[in-house]
């Protein structure tokens, strides 16, 4: 598969490259947009925001696996009001498509945040984080329940009718077909597949887990073959655009994700490790050069 000609149209948005930065590793984008040329990225997704400020999980929050990373951040963020008042104005105009991501514990929380954001200009897509593996609250499991997904999306679509909505689903879903069907029926425009699977590591000297919260979300190149198989399965179930993420590290990885059925490809851990290289890969796709 050739890099050239991979300008992609997703949910009415024309993107210059299939490479995007998913929610989390790039923070809110404040530092990245100051230090790097983001114009060749297909899109940048800001870190998930919640109705109220969250201090996140206690440290340690990260542990290396030798072939990836386990993170347990816990959706640390200032809350939607502070984000819109202090952070968001500093991002605009953003140099590429800007996606915002929200998470709540109830249908009403998702709906209220969506209604607030419906009146905010400057971003192009709203991602519903239905799948964070690092929180105790219900927002960590909504995405595994077809009825819960349906209820959240219907409420969000009612409050946020004019721009695309993406559902970010968990890696572990017992009823994948049911959840995908619920997304379609409720009006989801894009599927973001997938959030990090649960993982753990232990210190053999003490017998205790490395992470304060014991488990976290695993990301890294070792995850790629598992993610590709899951994306392939979902692609057989739906025609909805797919943002694939989980193990993409190189330009060839992006092409593999595309072969499996992804339209856009998120590079998360690589962004954390080397944002400049991710931007370079995106530029190669945007210009058809290598």
H/E element, 265: strand 264-266
Annotated binding residue at 57? Answer: no
Annotated binding residue at 220? Answer: yes
Provide CATH code, domain 8-55+81-197+221-287: 3.20.20.70
Read off the pTM: 0.95
What pLDDT is attached to residue 139?
53
In angstroms and rounded to an integer, the radius of gyration of the C-alpha atoms of the chain is 18
What pLDDT is attached to residue 170?
95
Backbone angles phi, psi at 54, to 5 degrees: -125, 130
Low-confidence ranges of the chain (pLDDT < 70): 1-6, 133-140, 289-290
Name the active-site residue from 132, 139, 196, 279: 132
Annotated binding residue at 246? Answer: yes
230 neighbors 257 (Cβ within 8 angstroms): no
57 neighbors 213 (Cβ within 8 angstroms): yes
Q: How far apart are CA 21 and CA 266, in angstroms?
A: 5
Annotated binding residue at 168? Answer: yes
Annotated binding residue at 247? Answer: yes
What pLDDT is attached to residue 7?
72
What pLDDT is attached to residue 290?
54
What pLDDT is attached to residue 2?
56
Annotated binding residue at 268? Answer: no
Buried b (16+ CB within 10 A) or exposed e, 198-235: bbbbeeeeeeebbbebebbbbbbbebbeebbebbeebb
Q: How far apart are CA 290 and CA 278, in angstroms?
A: 13
What pLDDT is attached to residue 140?
54
Of residues 196, 126, 206, the one with CA closest to residue 166 = 126
Q: Is 132 a catalytic residue?
A: yes
Whether cis (ω within 30° of 0) applies to the bond prior to 60 is yes
Domain boundaries, the chain: 8-55+81-197+221-287
């Amino acid at each position: 598969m050739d890099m050239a000609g991979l300008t992609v149209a997703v949910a009415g948005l024309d993107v210059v490259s299939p490479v995007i930065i998913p929610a989390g590793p790039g923070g809110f984008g404040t530092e990245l947009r100051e230090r790097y040329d983001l114009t060749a990225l297909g899109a940048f997704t800001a870190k998930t925001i919640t109705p109220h400020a969250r201090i996140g999980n206690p440290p340690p929050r990260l542990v290396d696996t030798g072939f990836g990373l386990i993170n347990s951040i816990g959706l640390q963020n200032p809350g939607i009001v502070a984000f819109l008042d202090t952070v968001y104005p500093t991002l605009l105009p953003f140099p590429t498509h800007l996606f915002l991501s929200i998470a709540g514990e109830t249908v009403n929380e998702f709906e209220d945040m969506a209604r607030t954001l419906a009146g905010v200009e400057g971003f192009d897509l709203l991602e519903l984080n239905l799948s964070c593996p690092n929180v105790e609250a219900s927002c960590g499991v909504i995405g595994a329940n077809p009825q819960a997904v349906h209820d959240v999306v219907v409420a969000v679509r009612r409050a946020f009718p004019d721009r695309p909505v993406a559902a970010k689903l968990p890696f572990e879903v017992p009823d994948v077909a049911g959840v995908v069907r619920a997304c379609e029926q409720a009006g989801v425009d894009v599927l973001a597949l997938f959030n990090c699977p649960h993982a753990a590591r232990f210190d053999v000297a003490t017998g205790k887990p490395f992470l304060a919260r014991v488990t976290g979300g695993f990301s890294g190149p070792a995850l790629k073959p598992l993610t590709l198989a899951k994306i392939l399965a979902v692609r057989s179930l739906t025609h909805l655009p797919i943002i694939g993420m989980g193990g993409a590290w190189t330009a060839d990885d992006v092409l593999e994700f595309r072969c499996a059925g992804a339209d856009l490809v998120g590079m998360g851990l690589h962004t954390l490790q080397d944002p400049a290289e991710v931007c370079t890969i995106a530029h190669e796709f945007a210009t058809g050069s290598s």
